[in-house]
Amino acid sequence: MKIGFIGLGIMGKPMVRNLLKGGYAVVVHDIAPAAVADVAAAGAVAGGSSLATAAQSDVIVTMLPDGPDVDGAVLGAGGILEGARPGSIVVDMSSISPLVSQKISEACAAKGVGFIDAPVSGGEPKAIDGTLTIMAGGDQPTFDKVVPILQKMGSSVTLTGPVGAGNVTKLANQIMVACNIAAMGEALVLATRAGLDPEIVFNAVKGGLAGSTVLNAKAPMVIARNFKPGFRIELHEKDLRNALLAGESMKVSLPLTSLVQQMLISLMNEGKGGLDHSAIVTFIERMAGIEVKPPGK
């Protein structure tokens, strides 16, 4: 199979590199020429446009910021569906509203094109390692065709249900991650205010019930004051907004999600939207007037 890949951001570029390492021929497109040049140097071929990339591909992967971006890339003028051949498959690995996924799937089906929504979790480090967690939605036969491709980018690939289920699962994931980071922030701010070394507190609790992948990944970043983005605050805010909209449509109250989303909006208004989502902690630090760091530093 020849793969088209549209969207070469923090996640997309290492995902393309892993496809190339896996032996696939990859045609790429992005609105940023420098991003295209970067992966072309690794062996990808520049597609020139979404339409031209799709026309050369059996499977077209999109990895874009939000639903409107995917809608435009697939359904817009000069988009994927204008170039895709019947029998090809669109795999959207963006994190978007499940309602948008279902809309795009219906448009693809009308042209004889398969569709899978397959958002990911793991951030830039796991995108680089090829160990992303991939949550897919779609029918079993279409999923089976693209599993070998997805396995070059992720260590866990699960079909969670029909189209849209992948993004519902991702929204659930994002709720748990955001609330976990916020709770970690409160805990470490409290410990720091009490005069404890937050690194010692982290090491003391990480092996117990409070331990988690989120804690292990994000606490060291906070203590080191390293907020270089693996997953940006502005993108996590978008995910929580989509979760709240989905919850509203299904009459599900999400009070903790709403609270953390408001924290993220506040941080974006402070100019912190481009920081790693571990910087949620800085919202709690500001309220307490203290930073999470070892005593004397």
Domains and CATH numbers, the chain: 2-163 (3.40.50.720), 168-288 (1.10.1040.10)
- For position 217, what pLDDT does the model report? 94
Helix axes 98-110, 233-249, angle to 10 degrees: 80
* Sole residue written with tokens 């910087």: 279
According to DSSP H, which parts of the chain are helical? 12-21, 33-40, 50-55, 67-75, 80-83, 98-110, 123-129, 140-150, 165-193, 198-205, 213-223, 233-249, 255-269, 280-288
CA–CA distance, 239 with 218 (Å, rounded to integer): 19
Name 22's Cβ contacts closer than 8 Å, sequence gap at least 6.
152
- For position 40, what pLDDT does the model report? 96
- For position 296, what pLDDT does the model report? 77
- For position 196, what pLDDT does the model report? 97
CA–CA distance, 65 with 94 (Å, rounded to integer): 6
Q: What is the pTM of this model?
A: 0.90
- Name residue 227's amino acid: F
3-state secondary structure at position 285:
helix
103 catalytic per annotation: no
* Sole residue written with tokens 């080191």: 224
User: Could you report the average pLDDT of every consecutive run of 10 residues in the chain (297 residues)?
Assistant: 96 97 98 96 96 98 96 97 97 95 97 98 92 98 98 98 97 97 98 97 97 96 95 95 94 98 98 97 97 88
Q: Are 117 and 98 in contact (CB under 8 A)?
A: yes
Question: Is the CA virtual torsion 159, 161, 165, 168 positive or negative?
Answer: negative
- Per the document, the length of the chain is 297
Name 144's Cβ contacts closer than 8 Å, sequence gap at least 6.
none
CA–CA distance, 76 with 65 (Å, rounded to integer): 16
What is each CA distance from 201 to 109, 189, 288, in whole angstroms?
53, 11, 18
Catalytic residue among 13, 103, 170, 272: 170
CA–CA distance, 283 with 287 (Å, rounded to integer): 7
Helix axes 213-223, 165-193, angle to 10 degrees: 50
- For position 295, what pLDDT does the model report? 87
